[in-house]
Amino acid sequence: MHGEPGEFAERVLDVVDAIPLGRVLSYGDIAEYLGWGGPRQVGHVMALWGGGVPWWRVIRSDGTLPPSHQGETRLRYAEEGTPLRPGGDRVDMRRARWDGRSASAALDDERT
Protein backbone atom coordinates (compact mmCIF):
# COMPACT_ATOMS: atom_id res chain seq x y z
CA MET A 1 0.00 0.00 0.00
CA HIS A 2 0.96 3.54 -0.28
CA GLY A 3 -0.22 6.99 0.71
CA GLU A 4 -3.53 6.49 -1.03
CA PRO A 5 -6.67 5.80 1.00
CA GLY A 6 -8.16 2.34 0.68
CA GLU A 7 -11.79 1.40 0.42
CA PHE A 8 -12.24 1.55 4.19
CA ALA A 9 -10.78 5.05 4.29
CA GLU A 10 -13.07 6.23 1.52
CA ARG A 11 -15.98 4.71 3.38
CA VAL A 12 -15.11 6.70 6.47
CA LEU A 13 -14.50 9.88 4.55
CA ASP A 14 -17.77 9.43 2.71
CA VAL A 15 -19.71 9.10 5.94
CA VAL A 16 -18.00 12.08 7.50
CA ASP A 17 -18.72 14.10 4.40
CA ALA A 18 -22.36 13.05 4.68
CA ILE A 19 -22.80 14.44 8.16
CA PRO A 20 -25.35 17.26 7.91
CA LEU A 21 -24.75 20.73 9.24
CA GLY A 22 -25.08 21.08 12.98
CA ARG A 23 -24.62 17.37 13.51
CA VAL A 24 -21.67 15.32 14.70
CA LEU A 25 -20.60 11.70 14.87
CA SER A 26 -18.29 9.87 17.21
CA TYR A 27 -15.44 7.65 16.07
CA GLY A 28 -17.16 4.60 17.52
CA ASP A 29 -20.40 5.52 15.80
CA ILE A 30 -18.72 5.64 12.42
CA ALA A 31 -16.99 2.34 13.04
CA GLU A 32 -20.23 0.74 14.09
CA TYR A 33 -22.14 2.37 11.28
CA LEU A 34 -19.69 0.98 8.74
CA GLY A 35 -19.47 -2.28 10.60
CA TRP A 36 -15.76 -1.96 10.27
CA GLY A 37 -13.15 -2.43 12.98
CA GLY A 38 -13.02 0.04 15.81
CA PRO A 39 -12.87 3.75 16.58
CA ARG A 40 -9.09 3.84 16.53
CA GLN A 41 -8.98 2.92 12.88
CA VAL A 42 -11.46 5.65 12.09
CA GLY A 43 -9.26 8.08 13.95
CA HIS A 44 -6.25 6.87 12.05
CA VAL A 45 -7.98 7.42 8.73
CA MET A 46 -9.03 10.87 9.83
CA ALA A 47 -5.50 11.65 10.90
CA LEU A 48 -4.18 10.73 7.46
CA TRP A 49 -6.85 11.92 5.07
CA GLY A 50 -9.29 13.75 7.36
CA GLY A 51 -8.11 16.99 5.81
CA GLY A 52 -10.47 16.46 2.88
CA VAL A 53 -13.61 16.12 4.97
CA PRO A 54 -15.39 18.03 7.75
CA TRP A 55 -13.30 16.37 10.41
CA TRP A 56 -14.59 18.81 13.01
CA ARG A 57 -17.89 16.93 12.93
CA VAL A 58 -16.11 13.83 14.18
CA ILE A 59 -15.51 13.86 17.92
CA ARG A 60 -15.29 11.53 20.86
CA SER A 61 -18.35 9.83 22.30
CA ASP A 62 -18.34 12.02 25.38
CA GLY A 63 -18.58 15.16 23.30
CA THR A 64 -15.04 16.37 23.87
CA LEU A 65 -13.34 17.95 20.89
CA PRO A 66 -10.35 16.41 19.10
CA PRO A 67 -6.96 16.89 20.77
CA SER A 68 -6.04 19.20 17.95
CA HIS A 69 -7.91 22.07 16.33
CA GLN A 70 -10.10 22.60 19.38
CA GLY A 71 -10.34 26.33 18.80
CA GLU A 72 -10.99 25.77 15.11
CA THR A 73 -13.64 23.16 15.82
CA ARG A 74 -15.40 25.34 18.36
CA LEU A 75 -15.59 28.08 15.77
CA ARG A 76 -17.12 25.74 13.21
CA TYR A 77 -19.79 24.65 15.66
CA ALA A 78 -20.65 28.24 16.43
CA GLU A 79 -21.28 28.87 12.73
CA GLU A 80 -23.02 25.58 12.01
CA GLY A 81 -25.26 25.89 15.02
CA THR A 82 -24.08 22.70 16.60
CA PRO A 83 -25.57 22.37 20.09
CA LEU A 84 -22.83 23.05 22.61
CA ARG A 85 -22.97 22.55 26.33
CA PRO A 86 -22.73 25.53 28.65
CA GLY A 87 -19.20 26.81 28.39
CA GLY A 88 -18.87 25.89 24.74
CA ASP A 89 -15.99 23.57 25.45
CA ARG A 90 -17.94 20.47 24.54
CA VAL A 91 -20.71 19.28 22.26
CA ASP A 92 -24.16 18.30 23.40
CA MET A 93 -24.01 14.78 22.00
CA ARG A 94 -27.56 14.19 23.15
CA ARG A 95 -28.76 16.53 20.42
CA ALA A 96 -25.87 16.74 18.02
CA ARG A 97 -25.38 13.03 17.50
CA TRP A 98 -26.40 12.22 13.95
CA ASP A 99 -28.16 8.99 13.20
CA GLY A 100 -27.09 8.23 9.66
CA ARG A 101 -28.89 4.91 9.75
CA SER A 102 -32.29 6.57 9.82
CA ALA A 103 -31.17 9.81 8.26
CA SER A 104 -33.19 9.23 5.10
CA ALA A 105 -36.29 8.76 7.21
CA ALA A 106 -35.31 11.15 9.97
CA LEU A 107 -35.32 14.03 7.52
CA ASP A 108 -39.09 13.95 7.80
CA ASP A 109 -39.08 12.95 11.43
CA GLU A 110 -38.47 15.78 13.80
CA ARG A 111 -38.96 15.63 17.54
CA THR A 112 -39.41 18.72 19.59
Chain contacts with DNA (rule: CB under 7 A): 1, 6, 8, 26-29, 36-44, 46-47, 50-51, 55, 58, 60-62, 66-69, 90
Cβ nearer to DNA, comparing 15 with 42: 42
- Between 74 and 90, whose beta carbon lies closer to DNA? 90
CB of 3 to DNA, least distance (A): 9
**In this structure, are strands 25-26 and 58-59 parallel, antiparallel, or unpaired?**
parallel
Least Å from the CB of residue 75 to DNA = 15
Cβ-count burial 49-78 (b if 16+ within 10 Å, e if not): bbeebbbbbbbbeebebbeeeeeebbebbe
